[in-house]
Structure 1
Amino acid sequence: MAQVEFRHTSAVTALITQGRGEGHQYLKSLTMKTSLDGSNWETVTDESGNIKVYEANNDGTTLVNRTVNEKILAKFIRIHPETWYDWPSFSMEILGYSRRTCWIGKAGVTTEDLPVLHQTFALNNGICGEECHKYQSCGSFMFDFDNGECHLYSIQTFNVTTTRSASLGRKVYFVNKPDCIL
């Protein structure tokens, strides 16, 4: 078994495997378990609820790229060799993307109630959101359309921010929806 920990919760889109060429050792198939916290694990299953077995290699040197069609959102992944040739020797790359937080806008809340974790300037609301993703402790953000200020707020303290809608001119806060995959 091999275990990987991502820096952030991530969506997995593909696996690339390769065996050990000089010894002709390689994985033929594998299964995966995922976890958001490193303690509670779930086995990856197919659409019918059966354990998903991923085909791997037929030799020790070829790079094999397998698309992952199952929706996998994890901070930790465990790779379990199922079948192999000679010895379960392998190298692997896991492809995907860091889970981007989904923000749901709603009217309410004033900025005076929220302590700022970091303040910078941005060209637009999207870039302000990207700034938030650079900080592991950032849980929400506010972009001020009038002056380009980007306020980042701690996930430990608050999970909402405010902004004035450019078109409506009213206060809007953005709530982090943690189960969203873009």
Structure 2
Amino acid sequence: WIEVDLLVNKLIGGIVTWGRGGSVNIPQWVKTFNVEYRVDGSNNWIKYTNNTGSLLTFIGNENRQQPVLNDFAENVIARYIRLYPLTSYYGPTMRWEVLGCATCKSSHLFEGTF
């Protein structure tokens, strides 16, 4: 897995992924992955699930150049985000960006498993 620490709790709305970058033309990317997250002060990782409670498998990349946007159906509040690569093309190499908001008001949001 790969993990990012956002330093404080933030409202997270999705993830963008890319394949291997750089000047070396090696075709590697993550094709599918799962997501877990946790809030500041907690040791409990929460699996991102669909509306029926099943673990959601996100669709990743089909090449190394084009970004893939995976919007979350329900935003989450988290400080830590983990991606678990499930399948890959010539190795689990990825670049990724978390789409979030540090200043959004969270009083109307649900914390926990959806």
Fold agreement, TM-score > 0.5: yes
8 Å CA contact 1:38–1:76 kept in 2: the answer is: no
What is the aligned length? 106
For CA contacts below 8 A with separation 6 or more, give which structure has more relative contact order.
2
Q: Which of these residues, 69, 73, 82, is aligned with residue 69 of structure 1?
A: 73
Q: Runs of 4+ in structure 1 displaced over 3 angstroms?
A: 99-102
Give me the TM-score of the superposition, normalised by structure 2.
Answer: 0.82
**8 Å Cα contact 1:11/1:71 also seen in 2:** yes
Matches within 5 A, 1:6-155: 6-20=6-20, 22-36=25-39, 37=41, 39-98=43-102, 100-101=104-105
Q: Which has the larger radius of gyration?
A: 1
Go from structure 1 to structure 2 and tell me whether the alpha carbon gap of 1:45 and 1:99 turns closer, same or farther (over 3 Å shift): farther
Between the aligned partners of 1:99 and 1:43, the Cα distance in structure 2 is 24
* TM-score in terms of structure 1 length: 0.53
RMSD: 2.0
1:20 Cα deviation after fit: 1.1
- Deviation, structure 1 residue 40: 1.3
- Do the aligned residues in 2 keep the contact of 1:30 with 1:82 (CA within 8 Å)? yes
Amino acid at match of 2:32: S
Structure 2 segments unaligned to the other structure (5+ residues): 110-114
Identity of aligned residues (%): 23
